[in-house]
Amino acid sequence: MAHQFSISAVAPGLPPNHQITFRRLALVIILLLMMFSPTVPASGLVWQDPASSTPTQAAAPQQEESTVLELGKVIERDLTAGQKHHYQIALSAGQFMKVEITDHGTDVGVILYWPNGETTNPWQPVGEPFDVKPISAVAESAGVFRIEIYTAARATAGRYEIRLTEVRLANERDRALQEANALFRAYVQLRDQGRYVEAGPNLQRALEIRERLLGEDNLLVANTLGFSASYFDNIGDYASAESANLRALKIKEKLLGPDHPDIAQEFLSLGGTYQHRGDDLKAEEAEKQGLAILQKTHQGETFTAAALLEQLGFVRYATGDYQSAQEYALKARAIWEKLLGADHYHLAPSYTFLGRVAYDQADYTKAEMMYQKALNMSEKGLGAENLHVTTYRNDLAKLYCTRGEYSKGEALYQQSLDIHRQRGAMSHPEVQTALFGLARCYTAEGNIAEAVKVQIQGSDIEDRYVAVNLAVGSEREKRAFLASLTSRSSRNISLHARLAPDAPLARDLAITTVLRNKGRVQDAMSAGLAGLRRRLGEDDQKQLDQLNDVTARLARLVLNGPQKLQPAEYQQRIKGLEDQRESLEDELNRRSSGFYVPSKPVTLAAVQTAIPDQAALIEFAVYRPFDPAAATDQKAYGSPHYIAYVVRNKGEVGWAELGEAATIDKAVDTLRNALRDPQRQDVVQLARAVDALIIAPVRAQFKGVTQLLISPDGELNLIPFEALKNEHGQYLAEGYSITYLTTGRDLIRMQTRRASKSGPVVIANPAFGEPPLTEAPGAGRERFKVVAARGNRRSITTGETLAGVYFAPLVGTAQEARIIHWLFPEARLLTGEHATKAELARVNAPSMLHIATHGFFLQNAERKYSSDGSGPDAAENPLLRSGLALSGANLNQRQKEDGILTALEASNLNLWGTRLVTLSACETGIGEVKDGEGVYGLRRSFFLAGSETLVMSLWSVSDSITREMMTSYYTGLKHGLGRAEALHRAELSMLKRNGRKHPFYWASFIQAGEWANLEGQR
C-alpha cells in the first residue's frame, strides 16, 4: 500500500478529523517499482521515511569499493548490521537495466545512485523482509549506475543475493514508464515541501501512464492508487481518497489473495480515511480486518500491526471507550519501541494520546509534557517545517490557550499557519484546526474582532472542504462526516449570539453558517440523484433498479420481523441488505459526480436576492453555546438552545436568542397534543405560549411582510406555525401565507426548474384487504387491538411494529379523487385494487402526484441492538418506520406484492420534474427529528425523490374534513393560485366556518418547498 497513514481521535463532542488529529504521516509505504519498473513482485512493499523517498544529490561510493555486476551472474554474500556493499553497472545512452536482490534470512535496504548524482532510496530494511526486490532504470546518457546494499542497525546477520538480469536497448514502453517514474519522483519532492496543488498533476499523469501501459489489474497501478489516496487525504478530499483506496484494495485482493499481508496495509489506509470522514464504524471494521490478516500470517509484531493497533485505539478513544483505547495504544507502543527504539518519532502519537487523556482530566502539567515530547520527537524526525508536524503543534497551542497562556498558544498557531501559507497548503485540514483554534484563543482573551476575522477564514475553507467530501458516499457516510463538524456551527453561532451580538461580521458569519449547513446531507443526496437522472443511461438504470430491489427486500424483512428465523440469522440478513444498499447508494453517487449542475454558491447575498419583496425568511437553528475559556472540551459546550434569524431581501439580518431547547420543546409538545384533539379548550392559551417563545422575539422584523418562509429546526418541525396566536388574539395564518423550507438555501435551488415527464396521477381509496381473524397479524395485546379496530372500522396507524397496525377502508377518498379528476381531467386515476405499490413505483415524474390513503409511523419505543451488540438494528431507521398504506396493506405478510411503501422506498421514486406531491393521509409530515437535518420520514423522502412542493399532514383528521380542504385547495390551484396561497385560502375558509375554529380542523396540512403556481409563476 503506497500511502501515508492517518490516525485521528477526538474528545466527545469534537470533530475527529479536525480537533485532535494524530497523523501517521511520517510512515510512507514505498514500492521500489513505483519508481522504476513495470512489474511488481508479490511482496513489493516497504516502509520508508518521507525524506528518503525524494531524489537527492549524494556522493556516490568510491569506485574501488564497488563490485561490477555481470549480466546473469549471481553474487551471494553475508551482511551484518552496519555493513554496506556497493555494486556498479556501466550503461550506454538509451540502455535499460534490471537488477534483482533476493533476501535469504535478512532484510536489506537499497540505494540507487544515478550517473547524474541523483539518489533514490526505494527499499528500506524495516523488519518485514520480502523475497525479491527488483530495480530497473533507463540511462538517459552514458554513465555508471551504483547500488548500495545495507541493513538496519539492529539487524541480525543474514545472506542475500544480487543479479543483473537484463541489459538491453530501451523501448518506447521502457521510456514511458521511466517518464512515469520521473513524474512520481517530482510528485514526492513537491509533496514533501507541502506544495500539494503543484504536486497533484504529476501523480495523476504517472497513474495515467501506468494504467495505459500496464492495465488496471497491476500491482504497480494499485500502489500508485495508494499514493493517490495519500494525496487526496492530505488535501482533505476523503471521498476521493476512499475511492482510490478501494480500487487499490480490489486489485491487490485479486492478484495476491484476500489473506496476503499486503492487504492488511490497504485496510490500514482505508481505516484512516474512514476516521477522517467521521465514520468510526467503518474505520474499526477495516482495521480489524487488517489485524486479522496479520495475525493469521504470523505478522502480529510488524510496523503494519503496530499502526493498526494504534488506529484502533484512536477509534475506541473517539467513541468514549477509554479502556479499550488504552489497551490498543499500549500494545502498539510496545511494538514500536521493540522495532524502532524508545526515541523514534513514530512513537509521537502515543505521547499525544497520553496528552489527550491528561487534557480531558484537566491535568495540564502532564498534558504539556506529553504534547511537548510528541512535538519534539516529530520535529527532530521530520523537521520543524514539515507539514505533518502541524497536528502536534496545534495540540500544544490549544493547551496553552486553555491554560490562559494566550501568547504562547497564538504563536504556535501562527507558526503552523505561516508554514502552510509559505508552502501553498492552505487547503490542508489541519489549517482549519489552526484557524478555529486561534479564533478560540482570541475569543478567550477578549480579542473578539480578530477572532471573528480568523473564524470567517476557517469557515470558508471548511465549506469548500465539506462540499468536496459530500460529493460522493452513501447517506449514512455523509451524516457521519457532517456529525464530526457540528461543533463548528455552534462555535460560529455562539461567537455572535454570546460574545459579539453587535458585530455585523459575526452575525453574518452565524447566519451564513446556518444557511450552509442545515439540511446539507439531504441537499447532497438530492444533487447526486439529480445528476444521475440528468444523464440516465442503461447502466445507471440497472443500478437504480438494483437499489430499488434491495430497498424493497430490506423494508419487507424489517417490517415483517424474523418470523421463523433465529435472531442471529435475522440480523445477519438485515445487515447484508443494509450493506448492499449502502454500497449501491455510494456507487450511484459516484456515477453522478460531475454530471449535475450545482446550485449557486451559498452566500447570504445569494439567499437574500431570492427572497420576494413582501416575504421574510425565518431561519431557526439549534446550537450548543460554546465557552472558549472552558477547562476541557467536554465542558465547553452547553445544553442546546434555539436561535432565530430573520432575513429580508434588503437590509440587515434580524435575530433573537430564544432560550433553552428543552423549555421550548416541552411547550411545543404540549401544544401538539392540544392541536390533535378538537375537544381541548386550552389550545388558544398554549398556542399563545409557543408564539411568545419563538415568534414574538422576532415579530418586529415582519413589517410590510405578507409571506413567511419558515425554516424550522428541532421539534419546531412538528408544529404548524399557522396555529400560533399573537398577543392580539390572531392566528399567524390570519396575517401571513406560510411556506416551509428545509433551509433558506432551498431558495437558491428553486431558481432551477425541472420539466415534468408525464401528466398528473391521483391514487386513492386503496383496497387494503381484510385478512381472516385467525390470521390477524401479531399476538396477544397487538392482535386484540387489531381485531377490535376491525370491528369498529377504525384505523390504528401507530404502534411499535407493523403487526399492531390496521388500515380501515377510506371510502371518502374515492370522492376526493373524483373531484380532483374533475378539476384536472388529464390526471390518471388509480383507485381500489389499482392503487398499488407497483403502480406508484412506476410513475415517471408526473406533473402532480396526489396520494389519498393512510400514513403510518412506528414508534421506536426502546433502542434495539443487533445480536452481536455491535450497533442498532435496521428497525431503528426512521425511514423504515414510516410510510404509506396501499392496496393489500393489511395482507402484508400473506402475499408477494406487499402494500406497504416505506419512506425509504419512497425516496427511490422518480419525481424529478414533479411540481406538487400531496400526501392526503394521516401524519405524513411527522417522523424522527434530527437537529440540522429536519424530519426523517415521508417529507424527507419525497423531497429526495425530487418533488418541488410537498403538502402533508401533522395529525389525523376525518375523511370529510380532508375532502373539504383538498377540494378547496385544488380549486385554487386550478384557478392559478400559488401552491402556498391556495392552501392558505383553504385554511382561512375553514377557519371562518362555525364549529371549525379549533386548529385541529384547518391547520393539519402544511406546505413545504416551492410556493409558485403550477405554471411556475409567483
Summarize pLDDT for 588-601 with one digit per residue, the tens: 766 655 444 444 56
Q: Which residues contact 428 (CB under 8 A, 6 or more apart)?
A: 194, 196, 234, 235, 236, 387, 390, 420
According to DSSP, residue 656 is labeled: E
Whole-Å CA distances, 640 to 184, 468, 518, 622, 623: 50, 29, 16, 6, 5
pLDDT for position 52: 33
Which is higher by pLDDT, 811 or 37? Answer: 811
Name the one residue in this structure whose C-alpha cell is 471548511: 462
Name the one residue in this structure whose C-alpha cell is 540511462: 139
pLDDT for position 1001: 95
Range from 23-32, 205-214, 423-432, 887-896 that averages highest in pLDDT: 205-214
CA distance 270 to 108: 28
pLDDT band at 157 (very low <50, low <70, confident <90, very high): confident
Q: Residue 552, SS3?
A: helix
pLDDT for position 862: 42
pLDDT band at 896 (very low <50, low <70, confident <90, very high): low
CA distance 35 to 53: 10
pLDDT band at 134 (very low <50, low <70, confident <90, very high): confident
Summarize pLDDT for 678-702 with one digit per residue, the tens: 999 999 999 999 999 999 999 999 9
pLDDT for position 524: 73
Summarize pLDDT for 323-362 with one digit per residue, the tens: 888 889 889 989 988 888 888 888 888 888 889 888 988 9
pLDDT band at 894 (very low <50, low <70, confident <90, very high): low
pLDDT band at 47 (very low <50, low <70, confident <90, very high): very low
Taking 80 as the threshold, does the pLDDT of residue 777 lie above it?
Answer: no
Least confident span in 203-217, 375-389, 528-542, 857-871: 857-871
Which is higher by pLDDT, 540 or 120? Answer: 120
Nearest to 917 by CA among 898, 936, 944: 944
Q: Please give the average per-residue pLDDT across 293-314, as a whole number.
A: 91
pLDDT for position 185: 86
Q: Residues 31, 34, 40, 45: what is their CA dihedral angle, to the nearest 10 degrees?
A: 10
Question: Which grid cell is 942?
Answer: 419525497
pLDDT for position 740: 97
Taking 70 as the threshold, does the pLDDT of residue 17 lie above it?
Answer: no
Which is higher by pLDDT, 559 or 466? Answer: 466
Taking 80 as the threshold, does the pLDDT of residue 786 lie above it?
Answer: no
Mean pLDDT of the chain: 83
Q: How many CA atoms lie within 13 A of 236 on its CB side?
A: 24
Summarize pLDDT for 708-721 with one digit per residue, the tens: 999 999 999 999 99
Summarize pLDDT for 482-509 with one digit per residue, the tens: 877 778 899 999 999 999 999 999 999 9
pLDDT for position 128: 58
Taking 90 as the threshold, does the pLDDT of residue 473 lie above it?
Answer: no
pLDDT band at 537 (very low <50, low <70, confident <90, very high): low
Name the one residue in this structure whose C-alpha cell is 444498499: 581
pLDDT for position 589: 66
Least confident span in 168-177, 579-588, 629-638, 738-747: 579-588
Least confident span in 252-261, 615-624, 626-635: 626-635
Taking 60 as the threshold, does the pLDDT of residue 445 lie above it?
Answer: yes
pLDDT for position 771: 63
pLDDT for position 15: 35
Q: Which residues contact 236 (CB under 8 A, 6 or more apart)?
A: 276, 427, 428, 429, 465, 468, 469
Summarize pLDDT for 229-279 with one digit per residue, the tens: 988 888 888 888 888 999 999 999 999 999 998 899 899 999 999 888 888
Which is higher by pLDDT, 851 or 463? Answer: 851
Do residues 882 and 860 make contact, with C-beta atoms less than 8 angstroms apart? no
Least confident span in 276-290, 580-594, 712-726, 895-909: 580-594
pLDDT for position 536: 62
Note the Cα 24 to chain centre separation in Å.
22
Question: Which grid cell is 917?
Answer: 406531491
Which is higher by pLDDT, 91 or 128? Answer: 91
> What's the pTM?
0.80
Backbone angles phi, psi at 796, to 5 degrees: -120, 110
Whole-Å CA distances, 1 to 131, 220, 226, 549, 682: 17, 10, 6, 36, 67
CA distance 209 to 177: 7
pLDDT for position 600: 53
**Percent above pLDDT 90 for the chain:** 51
pLDDT for position 877: 75
Taking 80 as the threshold, does the pLDDT of residue 649 lie above it?
Answer: yes
Question: Which grid cell is 593?
Answer: 459526480
Count CB-CB contacts under 10 A for residue 227: 28
Note the Cα 651 to chain centre separation in Å.
35
pLDDT for position 800: 63
pLDDT for position 949: 96
Do residues 797 and 923 make contact, with C-beta atoms less than 8 angstroms apart? yes
Summarize pLDDT for 723-767 with one digit per residue, the tens: 999 999 999 999 999 999 999 999 988 888 888 999 999 999 999
pLDDT for position 353: 85
Question: Which grid cell is 164?
Answer: 543483473
pLDDT for position 591: 63
Q: Please give the average per-residue pLDDT across 662-673, as a whole number.
A: 97
Summarize pLDDT for 101-126 with one digit per residue, the tens: 998 877 888 899 999 888 887 777 76
pLDDT for position 39: 34
Question: Which grid cell is 367?
Answer: 498534558
Taking 60 as the threshold, does the pLDDT of residue 35 lie above it?
Answer: no
Do residues 925 and 939 make contact, with C-beta atoms less than 8 angstroms apart? yes
Q: 77: which strand partners?
A: 160
Taking 80 as the threshold, does the pLDDT of residue 21 lie above it?
Answer: no
Whole-Å CA distances, 654 to 101, 495, 694, 818: 73, 16, 14, 47
CA distance 1016 to 1018: 7
Q: 655: which strand partners?
A: 645
Least confident span in 510-514, 646-650, 670-674, 860-864: 860-864
Backbone angles phi, psi at 911, to 5 degrees: -120, 25
**Percent above pLDDT 70 for the chain:** 85
DSSP result, 777-830: SS-HHHHHHHHHHHHHT--B-EESSGGG-B----THHHHHHHHHHHHSTTSEEE
Question: Which grid cell is 982?
Answer: 391556495
pLDDT for position 752: 80
Summarize pLDDT for 938-986 with one digit per residue, the tens: 888 999 899 999 999 999 888 889 999 999 999 999 999 999 999 999 9
Taking 70 as the threshold, does the pLDDT of residue 130 lie above it?
Answer: no
pLDDT band at 515 (very low <50, low <70, confident <90, very high): very high
Taking 80 as the threshold, does the pLDDT of residue 37 lie above it?
Answer: no
pLDDT for position 808: 87
pLDDT band at 478 (very low <50, low <70, confident <90, very high): confident
